[in-house]
Amino acid sequence: MKILAVNAGSSSLKFQLLVMPEEKEIVSGQVERIGWDDAIITFKLNGEKIKETFQILNHKYAVELVIQGLLKHKAIESLEEIKGVGHRVVQGGEIFKTSVIITDEVVEQIRSLNDLAPLHNPANITGIEAFRKALPNIPQVAVFDTTFHQTMTEDAYLYAAPYEWYEKYHVRKYGFHGTSHQFVSERCAEILGKKEHKIIVAHLGNGASICAVKNGKSVDTSMGLTPLEGIPMGTRSGNIDPAVLMLIAGKEDKTIGEVIDDLNKKSGYLGVSGFSNDSRDIIDGMNRGDYRATLAHKIQVKRILDYIGSYYVYMGGLDAICFTAGIGENAPEIRRDVIKGMEVLGVKLDEVENEKRGERMISTKDSKVKAFIIPTNEEVMLARETVRLSK
Ligand code: ADP
C-alpha cells in the first residue's frame, strides 16, 4: 500500500511516498519558494536528485506538479495506487487528542486554532485543501505535533499566570515535535524491552525540544504555547525573562512583535555566536577557539541539562536518554558534553560508539542509565497513522 506523507509550510511543501506496512521510502522531495516565479521542485528517487524550476504561484499548483512528477518519474503508475495522504499539522490545541480523518468539520476546527499557531496552521490547511481537491476519493489524515503531549497533566501544562487566560484564550503549554518524540520513545522502549519505562528524548534540530516519556506517555516537554519556549535553538532563544521584551522594545524603538521576531530569528546559536545558526559552524568555531561559539555551545549544554535534571526528578528516575534529529544524530560533541553532565545520574559514555552514526547505544554496558542515538522519522509516523485510520 502506498501512502503519501505531506508537510506543508507557508512557502514550501515537503512530501514522501512510502510503501506500508514495510515503511520503505519510494520517493521524497519538496517544493520551495511557492508564490514565486522561480519555485524549485525536487524529487529524490533511486539515489538520484532531480531539480526543476517553475513559476508556482500557489499550493494548488504545487500539489498538481508533485502528483504529475510522481507519475512522470514512475514512482506510481496511476493515482489509484495512493491509498491515503497523511498531513502534518502543527497545532491541534485541546481539540485533537489523536490523529483524525480529515472532513470539512476537521478543517474548520484546525482553522479555529490559527490564533495559537499563526505561522503554521494556515499553511498546513492550504496543503490539506490542495490535496483534498487533487485526490478527492482517498482518506486524508491529520497528524498533529501536539497530540502526543496531550497526556501532560495540569501541573505540567499550565502557566502560573491568571487562570482566566487559560479559560478564555487557551493559554497553556502544548509542546511540539510530538510525532518525533513518540517515534523515538517507542523505539527506545522496544530496545529496552520494557513497557514500564522512564525515557527522555532530546530532539535537537534547527528547532529543538526535550520530552519526558513515562510508560509511553509524554508527561512534560520543553516547548510551550509556541515553539519559542524551552531550550535555545538555531535561531530561537528558548526561555527568557519576559521583562526583556519591554526593555528591548524601549531601547531599540521596536514593537513587542518585532522583539519576539528577534527571539525567534536572531537568537539561540546565531544570537550568541554572532555568526551562525548551524551546529557544524558552532563546533568548528569552538575547535578553533572562538570565544562566542564556545559560549553558545556551553549555554546549549547547560540548558539541555537543566531540563534533564528537572525531568529526572519529575519522573522519579530515568532508564534512558535518546538523541535525535539533525544535531542529536550528527553532532558527537553535543551528545558527549550532555552525557558527561549527566554522570551524576548514572550514565557512562562509550566514547567510541558516540563517534559513530545511526541507531546505537552510546553508553557503556555497565551504565545504569542507557544512552542512545535513535534517528527520527516523522514521515513514517504520518504514514503509520494514515494506515491505522484508513482501515
Ligand atoms: P529541522 O527539521 O528542525 O529544520 P534538522 O533536524 O534537519 O532541523 O536539523 C538541522 C540542523 O542539524 C542543522 O542546522 C545543523 O545544525 C545540524 N546538523 C546537520 N548535520 C550535521 C552534522 N553532520 N554535524 C553537526 N550538526 C549537523
Q: How far is the CA of 269 from the centre of ligand 1 (A)?
A: 12
Q: What is the mean pLDDT of the chain?
A: 96
Q: How far is the CA of 308 from the centre of ligand 1 (A)?
A: 21
Q: How far is the CA of 331 from the centre of ligand 1 (A)?
A: 9
Of all helices (H) and strands (E), which one includes residue 167?
A: helix 163-169
Q: Is 145 designated active site?
A: yes
Q: What is the pLDDT of residue 257?
A: 96
- Tell whether ligand 1 has an atom less than 6 A from the beta carbon of residue 143: no
Question: What mean pLDDT is predicted for residues 48-64?
Answer: 93
**8 A C-beta contact, residue 85 and residue 386:** yes
Confidence check: pLDDT of 379 > 90: yes
Rounded to 5 degrees, φ, ψ at 161 are -120, 175
Active-site position among 115, 145, 241, 290: 145
| Residues contacting residue 255 through CB under 8 Å, at least 6 positions apart | 249
Residues 86, 87, 88, 93: is their CA dihedral positive or negative? negative
Question: What mean pLDDT is predicted for residues 264-288?
Answer: 97
- Tell whether ligand 1 has an atom less than 6 A from the beta carbon of residue 264: no
Q: How far apart are CA 56 and CA 48, in angstroms?
A: 23
- Tell whether ligand 1 has an atom less than 6 A from the beta carbon of residue 357: no
Write the residue with the smallest CA distance to atom 7 of ligand 1: 326
Q: What is the DSSP string of 90-153?
A: S--TTT-SS-EE--HHHHHHHHTTGGG-TTTHHHHHHHHHHHHHHSTTS-EEEEESSGGGGG--
Type of residue found at 49: K
Tens-place pLDDT, residues 109-145:
999 999 998 889 999 999 999 999 999 999 999 999 9
Cell of 272: 550568541
Cell of 38: 522561480
| Residues contacting residue 328 through CB under 8 Å, at least 6 positions apart | 202, 203, 204, 205, 322, 334, 335, 373
Q: What is the pLDDT of residue 118?
A: 87
- Tell whether ligand 1 has an atom less than 6 A from the beta carbon of residue 206: yes
Q: How far is the CA of 291 from the centre of ligand 1 (A)?
A: 22
DSSP three-state, residue 261: helix
Question: What mean pLDDT is predicted for residues 362-376?
Answer: 98
- Tell whether ligand 1 has an atom less than 6 A from the beta carbon of residue 327: yes
Q: What is the pLDDT of residue 391?
A: 83
**8 A C-beta contact, residue 213 and residue 201:** yes
- Tell whether ligand 1 has an atom less than 6 A from the beta carbon of residue 325: yes
Q: What is the pLDDT of residue 332?
A: 98
Count CB-CB contacts under 10 A for residue 135.
18
- Tell whether ligand 1 has an atom less than 6 A from the beta carbon of residue 278: yes
Q: How far is the CA of 35 from the centre of ligand 1 (A)?
A: 26
Question: What mean pLDDT is predicted for residues 288-292?
Answer: 98
- For the CA of 204, the closest atom of ligand 1 is 6
Q: What is the pLDDT of residue 119?
A: 84
Q: How far is the CA of 325 from the centre of ligand 1 (A)?
A: 7
- Tell whether ligand 1 has an atom less than 6 A from the beta carbon of residue 259: no
- For the CA of 283, the closest atom of ligand 1 is 25
Question: What mean pLDDT is predicted for residues 206-222?
Answer: 97
